[in-house]
Amino acid sequence: MTAKQDPTQYFGLTIPFLDHLGVVPEFAENGKSRITLYMQPEHENSFGVAHGGVVMTLLDFAMAAAARSAMNHPLGAITIDMTISFLRPSVGKIAVEGMVLKSGKSINYCEAVVLNEAGEITAKSSGTFVLRKVNAS
């Protein structure tokens, strides 16, 4: 039996699903974030490219992390709505960059892009997020 390694910290949060996917947190500061993922066969759809659900997960988290970083918020962010456009297949190493467009008292408007190794945008998203007020018990 192998020892379980400590879970990856995603800018102060433990997120088992992101850890399971192998997401690498790079930074989240001043309303911007960046994460990366090295595509594996289990991340692919029947066409051999990133499954849309994986891409949506990455975009969602990058925007939420950007929202949290704009306010130095220690708790998570809750997605109110999210729109995605898939522009081309995502393969290989992909990077996802999130950014806050407008930060209000309780609502944050964000966007994110997925970039392939050539720096081309493969998907983009916009979303609205509210920062959590208390820890869940």
Domain ranges for the chain: 9-131
Q: Provide the whole-model pTM.
A: 0.92
Percent of the chain with pLDDT over 90: 82
Q: CB within 8 A of 42, min separation 6: which ones? A: none
Q: What pLDDT is attached to residue 2?
A: 56
Mean pLDDT value of segment 74-96:
95
87: tokens are 């522009």
Pick the CATH number of 9-131 from 3.40.50.2300, 3.10.129.10, 1.20.1260.10, 3.40.50.1370: 3.10.129.10
Do the beta carbons of residue 54 and residue 18 sit within 8 Å? no
Mean pLDDT value of segment 59-79:
93
